[in-house]
Amino acid sequence: MFFRLSLKNMKKSFKDYAIYFLTLILGVAIFYIFNSLDSQQAMSVMGNSTYEIIDFMIQMLGGVSVFVSFILGFLIVYANNFLIKRRNKEFGIYMTLGMGKMQISRILLGETFLIGLLSLAVGLLIGIFGAQFMSLLVVRMFNGVMDGYQFVFSGDAFWKTILYFGIMFLIVAVFNVISLSRYTLSELLAAGRKNEKIGMKNPIRCVVVFLLAVADLAYQYYQVSHPEEITTSGILVIILAGCVGTFLFFWSLSGFLLQIFQKSRKYYLRDLNAFILRQIHSKVNTMVFSMTLICLMLFLTICVLGGGLGINFSFQKMLRELTPVDVNFTDISGAEASTKLKEKGFDMSLLEDGYVEVSFYNTPELTLKDTLDRTGLDVDISGLAVNLEGNEIQETIMKESEYNRLAALYGMEPVEVEEDTYAIVSDYEVTEELRNQLLKAGKTISLNGKTYEPAYENCVYGFVEMMANHGNTGIFILADDQVREEWRGSSFLAGDYRADTQKEKEQIDQEVMKYDVTNMSDGLLINTKIDIIAVSGGLSASVTFVSIYLGIIFLICSAAILALKELSESSDNKERYAMLRKLGTDEKMINQALFRQIGIFFFIPLLLAAVHSVFGMIFIKIALQSLGRIDYFSSVLAAAVIFILIYGAYFLLTYFGSKRIIRNP
């Protein structure tokens, strides 16, 4: 009987459970997807080095999942509290009819079991199919190749999801029993009749606090926009001050916002604006801490999603740009790289015929101390993140023809110099800033008793050695006949594998790496495209997966708390809406008022979070400038799509749920 009653109650209140179901289903699906990666087909098509990176990522996701389970557990208990509050009067009627609290608890237990079973079933179903798409995403992000598709089911992730969420639902069931035992019959029957007392704050005091909050936040924004001198402890102070400023912003806003609108009688008395503004004032006034928490969580969501995706997009683009060929060989012993390879027994036929071999030159006549000397030049280096002056490290020199042959192989622009000019090839922004100022000021260099002037006013974009990020601080290009052979220090060879498929390239890559050494005595160093992408690209992809995981969870929590609070408010205020109907307000006007009210309620914390995020992203960009130019446009666009889909879904469900509640007094 109790089970049938539980089933009937759940069917009857299914629309009230919409937000709860959505939250549970999303939580289950996301939890399964991110915990099933180790079983997906993507793992079987990765090389050994990539597999190790993915294995590290999976272990990291496992630790994050424990943290996520606590967040979702708190959210489920919070959501369940709303459902219990919505049904207090119903429970009071049950008790009036002679049903004891233990019997009501059995009904709630049955409902919790049914809700948990249904949400687990739907969430796991979505998660299982979603994991197949995640597998394709893993292959793409880790630059693997999938020859064919195979449907994969992860038993470990399946049982882990059931275990974690089973524990959560057990906690919810216990919470329901405890919560119900605290109510008396009179409290249950009187549910919804109590009016909430709203204290009025001193508007002058609120304006002063508001200005202080804005000043505090503005100062913290300035600090994170100029992070050159920020220490670790300084970051903690900025975070704490930002949290305090956010809290004071919402506290003060609730105290004078209504008074401002009341000054404009024409606007305040139009339609249902007075009702809407008082409702918003009431919510913000009683939810200062919650609004602060939601705002900060939305801020984290935007930064984590936007920053994480931006790092990955930029890293993938940068890796494609910085690995234009399959392999680099560098010999520092003085011999030509091709000669050293042949001596070691390497089969040169494994390389395409178009490989390029060049030499690097160094001389004590050209050091960082010489090239960065600003004597007699109008150059201001204040604010530049470089400290290389006085360094005796010798600069690298290349012949014009050799660099241009390599540039043609890499698909870069050639360099043109005369007998009395030089050019600098660089791709590292930090040192480029100083070098560009020196070039524009006409910085000359002296070699062989001869003076050379700049051929260009800026560094020419380019690099020689493949690496994971932009790291070429500067290579000097001179005309061929201006470079002396006694300066020759090392040789370099770049080329592509003689292969038609990715699998053939991987086989050659394994053969090539047999000649790599871990010590400098042999003099031969090897960098391969596959190895660079596997290690560096894998690390950036790992950061991205964790960012997406946490970002979506934070977003779900923020939206769910807002939605449940609004639904709870609608339940408490349905008598007020009934009064509006009695006063002659038509349904269309009431629905418009409700829509605007919920929209403002969702928009207020999002607006401040968006402002926070602008400066948060600036800080991320400056902190990670060594990685190169981060692609914020694509990342913000992708993050916005995820944000709109989830946040928008919660907003619409909240609106339709609230509309249903106020229609049924």
**Concatenated DSSP letters of 416-433:** ---TTEEEEEE--HHHHH
In a domain, 12, yes or no: yes
CB atoms within 10 A of CB 215: 11
Is the predicted pLDDT of residue 642 greater than 70, yes or no?
yes
Q: Is pLDDT larger for residue 349 or for residue 288?
A: 349
Q: With H, G, I as helix, E, B as strand and everything else as coil, classify residue 489.
A: strand
Q: pTM of the predicted model, to two decimals?
A: 0.74
In a domain, 578, yes or no: no
Is the predicted pLDDT of residue 469 greater than 60, yes or no?
yes
- Contact between 267 and 273 under an 8 Å Cβ cutoff? The reply is yes
In a domain, 107, yes or no: yes
Q: With H, G, I as helix, E, B as strand and everything else as coil, classify residue 563.
A: helix
Query: Domain end: 509, 527, 545, which one?
Result: 527
In a domain, 185, yes or no: yes
Average pLDDT over every residue of 92-103 = 74
Query: Domain end: 168, 194, 220, which one?
Result: 194
pLDDT computed for residue 517 by the predictor: 59
Rounded Cα gap, residues 33 and 21, in angstroms: 18
Q: With H, G, I as helix, E, B as strand and everything else as coil, classify residue 488.
A: strand
Q: How many structural domains compose the chain?
A: 2
Per residue, the 3-state secondary structure of 85-130, as one string, reads: HHCHHHHHHHHHCCCCHHHHHHHHHHHHHHHHHHHHHHHHHHHHHH
β-bridge pairing 421-426 and 450-454: parallel
- Contact between 412 and 427 under an 8 Å Cβ cutoff? The reply is no
Query: Domain end: 152, 172, 194, which one?
Result: 194
Over the stretch 246-288, which tens digit does the pLDDT of each residue have? 999 988 887 677 667 766 767 666 777 777 777 777 777 777 8
Rounded Cα gap, residues 204 and 216, in angstroms: 18
Is the predicted pLDDT of residue 24 greater than 80, yes or no?
yes
Rounded Cα gap, residues 29 and 161, in angstroms: 9
pLDDT computed for residue 125 by the predictor: 92
- Comparing 509-513, 546-550, 631-635, the range with the smallest average pLDDT is 631-635
- Comparing 145-149, 236-240, 543-547, the range with the smallest average pLDDT is 145-149
Is the predicted pLDDT of residue 531 greater than 50, yes or no?
yes
In a domain, 480, yes or no: yes
Average pLDDT over every residue of 608-623 = 85
In sequence order, what are the beta bridge partners of 446?
451
pLDDT computed for residue 519 by the predictor: 46
DSSP 534: I
In sequence order, what are the beta bridge partners of 329?
493, 526
pLDDT computed for residue 611 by the predictor: 93
- Contact between 426 and 435 under an 8 Å Cβ cutoff? The reply is yes
Question: How many residues in the chain?
Answer: 665
Mean pLDDT for the chain? Answer: 80
β-bridge pairing 421-426 and 460-461: parallel
In a domain, 567, yes or no: no
Average pLDDT over every residue of 333-358 = 87
Q: Is pLDDT larger for residue 366 or for residue 319?
A: 366
pLDDT computed for residue 15 by the predictor: 65
- Contact between 443 and 474 under an 8 Å Cβ cutoff? The reply is no
Is the predicted pLDDT of residue 538 greater than 80, yes or no?
no
In a domain, 132, yes or no: yes
Over the stretch 183-202, which tens digit does the pLDDT of each residue have? 666 655 565 555 445 555 67
- Comparing 73-82, 301-310, 312-321, the range with the smallest average pLDDT is 73-82
Rounded Cα gap, residues 105 and 103, in angstroms: 5
523: left (phi over 0), alpha (psi -120 to 50) or beta: left
- In order of 279, 339, 359, 398, 573, the CA distances from 401 in angstroms are 75, 21, 11, 9, 80
pLDDT computed for residue 139 by the predictor: 67
Closest CA to 282 of 207, 210, 202, 196: 196
Instruction: Quote the longest CA-to-CA distance of the chain.
Output: 108
Percent over 70 (pLDDT), the chain? 81
Going 609 to 612 to 618 to 622, the CA torsion angle's sign is: negative
Q: Which stretch, 23-37, 237-251, 629-643, has highest mean pLDDT? A: 237-251
Average pLDDT over every residue of 620-637 = 68
Q: What band does 628 get if pLDDT is binned at 50, 70 and 90?
A: low
DSSP 305: H
Residues 189 and 333 grouped into a single domain: no
Burial class (CB in 10 A: 0-12, 13-18, 19+), 290: middle
Tokens for 498? Answer: 């003689």
Residue-range definition of the domain harbouring residue 173: 1-194
Burial 409-424 (b: 16+ CB within 10 A, else e): bbebeebebeeebbbb
Rounded Cα gap, residues 436 and 456, in angstroms: 9
DSSP 240: H
- Contact between 381 and 374 under an 8 Å Cβ cutoff? The reply is yes
Q: What band does 631 get if pLDDT is binned at 50, 70 and 90?
A: low
Q: What band does 626 get if pLDDT is binned at 50, 70 and 90?
A: low
pLDDT computed for residue 520 by the predictor: 46
Over the stretch 38-94, which tens digit does the pLDDT of each residue have? 666 555 555 555 666 667 777 777 778 888 888 878 777 777 776 676 666 777 777
Q: What band does 212 get if pLDDT is binned at 50, 70 and 90?
A: very high
pLDDT computed for residue 86 by the predictor: 66
- In order of 23, 134, 341, 406, 480, the CA distances from 361 in angstroms are 63, 48, 21, 16, 12
Is the predicted pLDDT of residue 385 greater than 70, yes or no?
no
In a domain, 334, yes or no: yes
Q: What band does 217 get if pLDDT is binned at 50, 70 and 90?
A: very high
